[in-house]
C-alpha cells in the first residue's frame, strides 16, 4: 500500500513541477496586482502561517506573492524543518493557528497533503499554499527559486519572525552571535536525512 502512495505522491510532484515550468497563464493581469506584498489583503494570513511555523522552530521561512504570475494561488510560503517530528509539528501548528485566528479556516483537504516521511508536506489554503519541506527536498526541488525566476515577490516577515540565532554576552556586554541550525553538520554527514 505504501508503495502505491509513494508513486501517487511522485506523480503529483512531477505534475506540480511541470505546471511551474509551463508558460504564464494569459488570464493573469500583473498590472491588476498593486502595492507591496506586505499590504496585500492576504498578508495577515501569511503572517499567521509564518508565525506558527516560527513557533515550532522552522527555518528559512519565505513568503512569495505569486499572484502576478499565476492564477493558481496568490502566495507561496516555504519553510524547512530538520526532522520528521518537527515537520509534523510545524504543519499541525499552522493548521491550529490558522483555524483559531481565521474563523475555522481549513486546508482544502482538511489537513496536510503528504507526510513528514516524504520530506514534503503541503497545506493548501487556496489563495495561500504552504510547503513544509526537509532542507534536502527544498534544495532539490528549488520551488522558491523557480517562483522567484517567474516574478514572485518576497514578503518581508521581519515583523513576525524571531531571530534564529543564539546570542551570548561578550566582553564589554556586547552581544556576540553563536549561530544556530545544525551546528556545522553538513547534509552528507547528517544521519537523519541519509
Task: Please say whether the beta carbons of 146 and 63 come within 8 A.
Answer: no
Distance (Å, whole) CA 187 – CA 110? 33
Supply the pLDDT for residue 56: 94
Q: Delimit the domains of the chain by residue range.
A: 2-162
In the sheet that holds 75-80, the strands lie side by side as 120-124, 128-133, 75-80, 59-65, 153-154
Give me the mean pLDDT over the 140-156 stretch: 93
* Helix residue ranges, H only, 70-142: 84-101, 135-141
Class of domain 2-162: alpha beta
Distance (Å, whole) CA 49 – CA 65? 14
Distance (Å, whole) CA 175 – CA 79? 27
Task: Please say whether the beta carbons of 117 and 134 come within 8 A.
Answer: no
Place of cell 551570548: 168
**Is-above-0.75 flag for pTM?**
no
pLDDT digits (tens, 9 = 90+) for 88-127: 999 999 999 999 999 999 988 888 898 888 889 999 999 9
Work out the pLDDT band at 191, boundaries 50, 70, 90.
very low
Instruction: Output the CA torsion sign for 95, 101, 104, 109.
Output: negative
Least Cα distance to 64 among 6, 163, 161, 130 occurs for 130
Task: Please say whether the beta carbons of 136 and 187 come within 8 A.
Answer: yes
Give me the mean pLDDT over the 13-32 stretch: 66
Task: Please say whether the beta carbons of 125 and 75 come within 8 A.
Answer: no
Supply the pLDDT for residue 164: 56
Residue, of 155 and 165, whose pLDDT is higher? 155
Amino acid at each position: 500500500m505504501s508503495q502505491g502512495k509513494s508513486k501517487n505522491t511522485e506523480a503529483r510532484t512531477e505534475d506540480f513541477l511541470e505546471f511551474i515550468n509551463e508558460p504564464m497563464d494569459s488570464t493573469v493581469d500583473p498590472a491588476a496586482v498593486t502595492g507591496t506584498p506586505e499590504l496585500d489583503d492576504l498578508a495577515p494570513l501569511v503572517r499567521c502561517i509564518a508565525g506558527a511555523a516560527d513557533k515550532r522552530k522552522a527555518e528559512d521561512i519565505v513568503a512569495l506573492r505569486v499572484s502576478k504570475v499565476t492564477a493558481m494561488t496568490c502566495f507561496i510560503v516555504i519553510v524547512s524543518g530538520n526532522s520528521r517530528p518537527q515537520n509534523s509539528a510545524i504543519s499541525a501548528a499552522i493548521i491550529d493557528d490558522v483555524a483559531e485566528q481565521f474563523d475555522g479556516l481549513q486546508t482544502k483537504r482538511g489537513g496536510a497533503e503528504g507526510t513528514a516521511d516524504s520530506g514534503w508536506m503541503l497545506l493548501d489554503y487556496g489563495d495561500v499554499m504552504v510547503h513544509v519541506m526537509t532542507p534536502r527536498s527544498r534544495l532539490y526541488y528549488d520551488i522558491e527559486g523557480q517562483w522567484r525566476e517567474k516574478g514572485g515577490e518576497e514578503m518581508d516577515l521581519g515583523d513576525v519572525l524571531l531571530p534564529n540565532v543564539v546570542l551570548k554576552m561578550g566582553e564589554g556586554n556586547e552581544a556576540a552571535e553563536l549561530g544556530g541550525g545544525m551546528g556545522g553538520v553538513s547534509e552528507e554527514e547528517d544521519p537523519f536525512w541519509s
